Amino acid sequence: MENWKPNATVAAVVERDGRFLLVEERTVDGLRLNQPAGHLEPGESLLQAVVREALEETACRVEPQALVGIYMTRFERPAKGIDVTFLRFAFACRFVAQEPGRALDGEIVRATWMSAGELRAAGARHRSSLVMRSVDDWLAGRRFPLELIHTDPSCLWEAAQ
């Protein structure tokens, strides 16, 4: 495997009044449930990425409070030559505000709030096994300080300019 590297992604675990913020998104496998999540983009930190993804996918402003966990998973579709490893950083985020009328990313059908029980009952519709795992880890009280993550300023394009 020449030049193999995992894809870095972020996910926002946002709880409010016993319900978790989720997105219903169009995928090649149909409509799926996921946390607001996506890929780390060039020139941004993991914290900037999770704030951006939550806003783009749910029109909600969030503030990262802690790291819930770092997860590694693999997505394979051998018939189509797809074999991707994801390194996912899930953050416990505080809901700050909603931006009514803001357009959501194209593949997002809607943002919704679900209890852990509702989410567990919809397991067949999860985008990946990490959706419930992140919530279960959050429910178990797993929180790691954000200071665990250091981003060198050379990685941040806004700081480099």
Which amino acid makes up residue 137? D
Task: Answer whether residue 159 shows pLDDT above 70.
Answer: no
Tell me how far apart the alpha carbons of residues 5 and 161 are, in angstroms, rounded to a whole number: 27
**Over residues 134-146, mean pLDDT:** 98
Task: Answer whether residue 86 shows pLDDT above 60.
Answer: yes
Residues of the chain above pLDDT 90, percent: 83
Integer Rg of the chain from CA = 16
Q: What is the pTM of this model?
A: 0.92
pLDDT for residue 160: 45
Tell me how far apart the alpha carbons of residues 75 and 85 are, in angstroms, rounded to a whole number: 6
